[in-house]
Amino acid sequence: MRNLILKFLIGFALTGSVAFGQTAWTPKEEGKTIKVISHRGEHLHHPENTMPAFQAAIDAGADYFELDVRTTSDGKFVLMHDSTLDRTTNGTGEVHKHTFDEIRALDAGSKFSSSFAGTKVPTLDEAFDLAHGKINVYVDTKYADPQQLVDTIVRHDMQDHVVIYGNPFFLYEVRKIRPTLKVMPETISPDICKFMVRAMQPQVLAFDANDFKDPVIDCAKAANAKIFVDRLGDADNPETWQKAIDLGAVGIQTNLPAELAGYLRAHNLATH
């Protein structure tokens, strides 16, 4: 990601900026509430990036479930974090070298638990169908055509209920196609944050443990951009959740959606 961002900055410097008007968040996004973002669905007790994991995130009280989008050899969107099939399915090889039908025939549950045997690799359409009217979706774009992704979002009437993460070239194209969509670049550093703000005027910025530091946070605040931060692994606990909130985060990506939702309700910070 860092090398892609460097290439983006060089290209952006050569071509110059494109002016975009900033679109305000809807009223429901305002106020002192924190969004629970369920990483790969609820994947500690369900196979990641599957329909059971997404439903469990809804049941846990999350505001978003996060999913990973890839494209098959015949141009279909499927949901999988890794570039290969090996870790989470009974298949092998690279996702983009297999057709949709080949991937759909795989078992995406047995490696997690025999109780999930027969679980299929879902499509983005299926995830949006499940989410519509219930939950927002954090779209982590691993590989997708920007126009095709925008068209899919709009077809499902999810344009006001997604944030889109991905490499800066991709997000820049999405922003050009439909400026009102919430693209969410990674901040990385104060200087890169400023470049991203200038290029895309994002309504929300993504942070991980490495870039969630005061100078970068200050850049996001100066741009009036919302802050979504990862609190995963050892950082996924009440102490670091609260520290993130104190530093200005309004969305927390977690592996513990039910626990985070409970914590926020106990502190009058939950959205529902």
**Helix segments in the chain, DSSP class H:** 2-15, 51-59, 100-104, 124-131, 146-155, 168-177, 190-200, 214-222, 238-246, 257-266
* pLDDT for the residue 5: 60
Mean pLDDT of 18-44: 67
Residue 256 placed within a domain: yes
Q: Under the phi-then-psi rule, with left for phi > 0, alpha for psi from -120 to 50, and beta for the rest, what region is 136?
A: beta
- Res 14 pLDDT > 70: no
Residue 165 belongs to a domain: yes
pTM listed for this prediction? 0.90
**CA 134 to CA 35: how far, in whole Å?**
14
87-101: per-residue pLDDT in tens? 999 999 999 999 999
Instruction: Say which amino acid occupies 165.
Output: Y
* Domain containing residue 244: CATH number: 3.20.20.190
How many of the other CB atoms lie within 10 Å of CB of 182?
23
Closest CA to 84 of 98, 105, 104: 98
Residue 74, domain extent: 2-12+22-266
In a domain, 17, yes or no: no
- pLDDT (tens digit per residue) in 222-249: 999 999 999 999 999 999 999 999 999 9
Is residue 116 included in any domain, yes or no? yes
Number of domains in the chain: 1
pLDDT digits (tens, 9 = 90+) for 180-215: 999 999 999 999 999 999 999 999 999 999 999 999
In three-state secondary structure terms, 225 is coil
Count Cβ neighbours within 10 Å for each residue of 120-156 and write b for 16 or more, e otherwise. bbbbbebbbebbeeebbbbbbbbebebeebbebbeeb
Alpha carbon distance 115, 135 (integer Å): 26
> Looking at the domain assignment, is residue 259 inside a domain?
yes
Residue 271: inside a domain: no
